[in-house]
Structure 1
């Protein structure tokens, strides 16, 4: 635009020129943000080429660099925290084909009238739509309650969280930022055996790109699915509880590449909140199967624990608390909380309000025909370490790190099972206050629920036949 033309526009259409200049500034900011994210990706690739002895120092440097949200990611205008939220017309959901994500999709379709735009990796919109519906069917969510009309409100957005601009052309990314009213970021590459470097583009850079989308055009409430694992497995010295409002930055870098990537990504979301973006953080603990159908995720904690006990034929003597939440309740609670105006700016710990002893598992397993020998924790831990070194295909392999930090010491009784990350007391005041008067009660962790899970696992051939196990 020439200086002469600018002057004429100012003289005749001051509003038009102001809007046009604002668009130019926003486009420049968007280009700058994408350049910063791409530069971060390039620097990371260079670090991977470093000699092994340099990688440890570079890893710490990488965390420090990744913990800085791009300066250009800021809301284009202020967000007013008010006592009412207009029902959204267009929602962006990531991770809609995953276990928790597909249940979130179902709840969003039921609790809102919005169109749900689902970021999905596919070759076409039609294939993306098929992929989403396939997930709904796989987890038994396409029942009569999910009407044909509700299914028409599913809008596939073919893209990739790990790529710049979500893999979208710039004009499509800009159009999406204009359309969307609220974002539910639930997607992540979950792989407990992978290093941070492998998960970073999806879990960290992808989150930063979505924050850019949330800030662009107009501020959009940003609901982020984190994990309770970003907090330490043991209480830091001097603390009696870990509170929902505690800054995550006060806690050390957790173990494991996946958890590290979530630890970094959550802090990026918090920084965006500090800059004025309306955010809400959800930290679920262990998520179990559906409380009625028993449908489950083959990577969930309870499934792997039960399958692992059966594969080993043994379990440690002693109790550990189970604070699992069924997936149907977690997804319902997250969407319910997200629709309450006072949830904005808060963090919610989602664990069962009434944990039960792990001893409750063994009677239903025995009734189903599985005889589990109870051994000392030390003996069981030795078996676990053999798995860690020899059998990556074992059900307990992804859980090894959860148990390794709890190895017995001389001061601990041999009969006590010190194996549960859920032993750490997590504060849940925000969650309890918001959900105590909610219309849906939390399902009890009862023997009947565990029987439902065992039956569903057997029907899915996820557990060995009890007769074959008994004769082995």
Structure 2
């Protein structure tokens, strides 16, 4: 096997050393030959230093090392040569936990003897050792003197015999080319994988240190806690040969000294180390001692790898002057560039310039790192291709620095991200770190893929271990760690929070297994505990129906107490009886839990058919009091009907009156100003449409700048959320945000929840408002939208008290949902205001109507210039991004279960989200009539069939008549309903809701056939007039405007696959 020479390296190393001469790293020499070259040309240069028992620091020079390698090679040949034919190169395994100088001599001697060296991790299990020996056909094993190593090998041999009675333990056979080497990966998913190396690859890895910013020759690297059988150990053996770094180790002796934080500290200080190489756990232990911290601050750098360093520890050490470097690598690819980033960014790293990386967007400003084959990177693992070039997809997710291009933070693993059945993702890494700090906990693994709710498997520390089948002890242990779980829940997004019932504990008969890096074999353990995890979900879902005792009397007082307990149990935190539970975080699946518990209880107590509770039961009664009042009527057989339409209309009008009262009294506090800046205030910019609006506004020179107002979040800064949102849509966050001021605000409270100083500054600068922030949930009642309605009034107050000379423009993104009940109207529906009865019947539509009316009245009573823009169905934008929570994505994801998608021969007038943003900005800049209404839909509709054919082809499903598709969906739904009535199908029925999200919208899909024949567009959508919009927007009226087509449909599918919403 021949390769072109390795390209010339930067002149960064061996610049001033008097004892080390730079070796040839062009690939002309093998690794053993390089060792010979260094020993000959730099014989007096140190390779190892160590503190002797006497306290004296001793040195092992290169000349000493090469003599040891020669002696060891003769011994290896004497033992191995009888078992193989001339010309063969057998695989020789090394299974030892010996001192570093001895291990290096053993490893290099095998290579010098022209054999294949296979360092085995001494931390592997017997089964893993047996697996590796058999897979690579090991012919001879050199085992350490320690009894534990001998026992490990004996058990591995026994395992091999047990698997195959005829298997011959290490003996001669054909092996690969003599220059091939083997190392084993960390085995974090199943058994370790043997990874092939060639001399060329090892030299390339050694040469990567030349891309450092600093000359490292002669620096002493503390290597006490990094075993040489680990990839980082093998890598630094190469660095020592390539640059002359000195490795500080423990004193060579048998048995070898096992590292602890204390003895590693003593050895490192005695040998005057300048760079520390260590896993995070050792750094965290040192951080508790001020003397250790002072010492760390005196070093050149502290390099950690093999896991994540506790953020609080890292922040503290940096504040004390410690230089921390993230030493991230993958499959012996030296990925990071050696050298510090800014202290505050210690978690970030820079990718080494020797690599050619491809960063694949994964969503929320994260990217999967793919390493391309290149002249300096002969990949030893190839698992993909990019543009025809071999590549290694690391499955590692990197988070881009919000302000510094080229700086990245390790976010997690693609295969660790837990995709829930709701489409939400849990990133387990940060949450596991919080729980791992509990004094009762050894390790934890989060789970919940394809489930609604996350859970956690806990491995207690040895002194706290017990048999989890003992329910009393299990409850006691859960209580012990509950305070830490509560801290975790404060940090976690709602869909990632842990309830007590979702904590399970490891069994002594199934101990946690770890890799050579001392990291958990996550997927292996989840497979081991699959049965227990399934039982946990079943138990939770079944017990949720019976844990709350029904009231003894179905009067209002007793029922309120019962409902209160149910709601607070499901929500985890308490809400008041009169508070809207959806304003306190209740989501669709929690609403399903509440409905099912109440339905099951009513069935058991008063023999009520649970199907009498509508799908929207909780949404229609969003407080504990409202739920209780309705349940009392059901339980006592009082006639219950849907809210009277007249009542709805009265409720809608009362909100209009409430939030238009006193509008004429809102006046500027002082004289009109002469402000000339032309800023626009936009709300709700972290969603899909909002991000596109922000990008469009930021590129429009008619505006001086953009104020982007969004709600604060405990989980991340507004800047981080905005950058993730823009990146997810394929937009250049750095470019967009140059002319944007991001502001955390609560527009549902007075003064928008910001300081008076900022409020007044914005009033001086803002000439227009584009109000886009609104909750989107078609199940909620109007009462749940009142904070949104109040935001319209608050922004009007901002406008009317502005002292600018010209009245402000107020553009509001409404919705065609306002036209909820237009059975008698003639299509296309005109761009005009409608009466309350048209919108009544859906809380979302009602809230939009109320806001339109508030703005209409404001335009009649005050100088403010208002425009309500009703948006039609928005489709995926530039990179296909389409919100997975909408009805079409739910229909498409469910296609796998029903094996089809529905047909419709009519047109769709869906409009791409990026195009919508452009039109909105054009409308904001146009001279419109105050108080008017416009529509935004695609003026050139396209047949649904054209899009459906592309989607069906991509998914490999058929296209069937709508009623047939609905029938298949109903068949799946019946099993859920029957299970609820019988009382024995709760767990499976809830799982079905998660796997087939279209079932949650079943009532919506059932309504469609009623209107599909009556209305002009596909799926019962109406035709809308866009004449006003066409007159105000150049983009929308452009005759060259493209229709939706096959490429758009494929882009949507591609986006849903990239985000994990659809299987690839």
TM-score interval w.r.t. the shorter chain? 0.7 to 0.9
In 2, the alpha carbon distance for the partners of 1:227 and 1:412 equals 23
1:285 shift after superposition = 0.6
Q: Which residue of 1 aligns with 2:960?
A: 374
Q: Which residue of 1 aligns with 2:912?
A: 326
1:210 to 755, 773, 795: 795
Q: Which residue of 2 aligns with 1:282?
A: 869
The Cα offsets for residues 210-237 of structure 1, whole Å up to 9 and x where unpaired, read as 1211211243100100111111354425
Tell me if the contact between 2:697 and 2:921 (Cα under 8 Å) persists in the aligned partners.
yes
Q: Which residue of 1 aligns with 2:73?
A: none
In 1, the alpha carbon distance for the partners of 2:649 and 2:1008 equals 25
1:250 shift after superposition = 5.8
Structure with greater strand percent = 2
Q: Within 5 Å, which residues of 2 pair with 1:291-306? A: 292-306=878-892
In 2, the alpha carbon distance for the partners of 1:272 and 1:347 equals 14
2:925 to 339, 362, 386: 339
Q: Within 5 Å, which residues of 2 pair with 1:379-390? A: 380=966, 383=969, 387=973
In the superposition, relative to structure 1, how do residues 455 and 163 fare at CA in structure 2: closer, same or farther (>3 Å)?
same
Q: Which residue of 2 aligns with 1:426?
A: 1024
In 1, the alpha carbon distance for the partners of 2:689 and 2:1055 equals 18
1:72 to 662, 673, 688: 662
1:362 shift after superposition = 3.0
The Cα offsets for residues 6-31 of structure 1, whole Å up to 9 and x where unpaired, read as xxxxxxxxxxxxxxxxxxxxxxxxxx
Q: Which residue of 2 aligns with 1:396?
A: 998
2:744 counterpart of 1:158: yes
Tell me if the contact between 1:235 and 1:242 (Cα under 8 Å) persists in the aligned partners.
no
In the superposition, relative to structure 1, how do residues 406 and 365 fare at CA in structure 2: closer, same or farther (>3 Å)?
closer
In the superposition, relative to structure 1, how do residues 184 and 436 fare at CA in structure 2: closer, same or farther (>3 Å)?
closer
In the superposition, relative to structure 1, how do residues 382 and 261 fare at CA in structure 2: closer, same or farther (>3 Å)?
farther
Question: Could you say what secondary structure the match of 1:92 adopts?
Answer: strand
Q: Which residue of 2 aligns with 1:435?
A: 1033
The Cα offsets for residues 54-96 of structure 1, whole Å up to 9 and x where unpaired, read as 994775543221022333224648xxxxxxxx99622111001
Tell me if the contact between 1:323 and 1:353 (Cα under 8 Å) persists in the aligned partners.
yes
In 2, the alpha carbon distance for the partners of 1:313 and 1:187 equals 37
Aligned length: 402
Tell me if the contact between 1:378 and 1:408 (Cα under 8 Å) persists in the aligned partners.
no
Q: Which residue of 2 aligns with 1:200?
A: 786
In 1, the alpha carbon distance for the partners of 2:676 and 2:1007 equals 45
Q: Which residue of 1 aligns with 2:700?
A: 111
Question: Could you say what secondary structure the match of 1:341 adopts?
Answer: coil
Question: Could you say what secondary structure the match of 1:283 adopts?
Answer: strand
In 1, the alpha carbon distance for the partners of 2:927 and 2:1051 equals 36
Q: Within 5 Å, which residues of 2 pair with 1:158-237? A: 158-169=744-755, 172-201=758-787, 203-218=788-803, 219-232=807-820, 234-237=822-825
Tell me if the contact between 1:286 and 1:301 (Cα under 8 Å) persists in the aligned partners.
no
2:842 to 245, 250, 256: 256
Q: Which residue of 2 aligns with 1:352?
A: 938
The Cα offsets for residues 346-385 of structure 1, whole Å up to 9 and x where unpaired, read as 3221111122222123321343242125145166157259
Tell me if the contact between 1:287 and 1:301 (Cα under 8 Å) persists in the aligned partners.
no
In 1, the alpha carbon distance for the partners of 2:957 and 2:971 equals 22
2:1039 counterpart of 1:451: no
Question: Could you say what secondary structure the match of 2:743 adopts?
Answer: strand
Q: Which residue of 2 aligns with 1:122?
A: 712
TM-score by length of 2: 0.35
Unaligned runs of 5+ in 1: 1-43, 78-85, 466-472
Question: Could you say what secondary structure the match of 1:449 adopts?
Answer: helix
1:439 shift after superposition = 6.3
The Cα offsets for residues 398-450 of structure 1, whole Å up to 9 and x where unpaired, read as 654543333459x979xx9997242x221111122333676695331112221
Q: Which residue of 1 aligns with 2:678?
A: 89
In 2, the alpha carbon distance for the partners of 1:293 and 1:324 equals 16
In the superposition, relative to structure 1, how do residues 263 and 385 fare at CA in structure 2: closer, same or farther (>3 Å)?
farther
Question: Could you say what secondary structure the match of 2:1028 adopts?
Answer: helix
2:63 counterpart of 1:63: no
1:462 shift after superposition = 2.1
Pick the structure with greater CA Rg: 2
Tell me if the contact between 2:952 and 2:959 (Cα under 8 Å) persists in the aligned partners.
no
In the superposition, relative to structure 1, how do residues 258 and 448 fare at CA in structure 2: closer, same or farther (>3 Å)?
same
1:287 shift after superposition = 0.4
In the superposition, relative to structure 1, how do residues 172 and 151 fare at CA in structure 2: closer, same or farther (>3 Å)?
closer
- Single out whichever of 358-367 and 375-384 deviates more from structure 2: 375-384
In the superposition, relative to structure 1, how do residues 235 and 88 fare at CA in structure 2: closer, same or farther (>3 Å)?
farther
In 1, the alpha carbon distance for the partners of 2:874 and 2:775 equals 17
In 1, the alpha carbon distance for the partners of 2:952 and 2:1008 equals 27
In 1, the alpha carbon distance for the partners of 2:758 and 2:721 equals 21
In 1, the alpha carbon distance for the partners of 2:680 and 2:742 equals 11
1:240 shift after superposition = 4.2
1:242 shift after superposition = 1.7
In 2, the alpha carbon distance for the partners of 1:435 and 1:277 equals 21
Q: Which residue of 1 aligns with 2:690?
A: 101
TM-score by length of 1: 0.74
In the superposition, relative to structure 1, how do residues 401 and 175 fare at CA in structure 2: closer, same or farther (>3 Å)?
farther
1:208 shift after superposition = 1.6
Unaligned runs of 5+ in 2: 1-577, 581-621, 634-639, 669-674, 978-988
- Single out whichever of 171-180 and 445-454 deviates more from structure 2: 171-180
1:105 shift after superposition = 0.3
1:317 shift after superposition = 4.2
In the superposition, relative to structure 1, how do residues 279 and 253 fare at CA in structure 2: closer, same or farther (>3 Å)?
same
In 2, the alpha carbon distance for the partners of 1:232 and 1:453 equals 27
Tell me if the contact between 2:942 and 2:1043 (Cα under 8 Å) persists in the aligned partners.
no
In the superposition, relative to structure 1, how do residues 267 and 115 fare at CA in structure 2: closer, same or farther (>3 Å)?
same
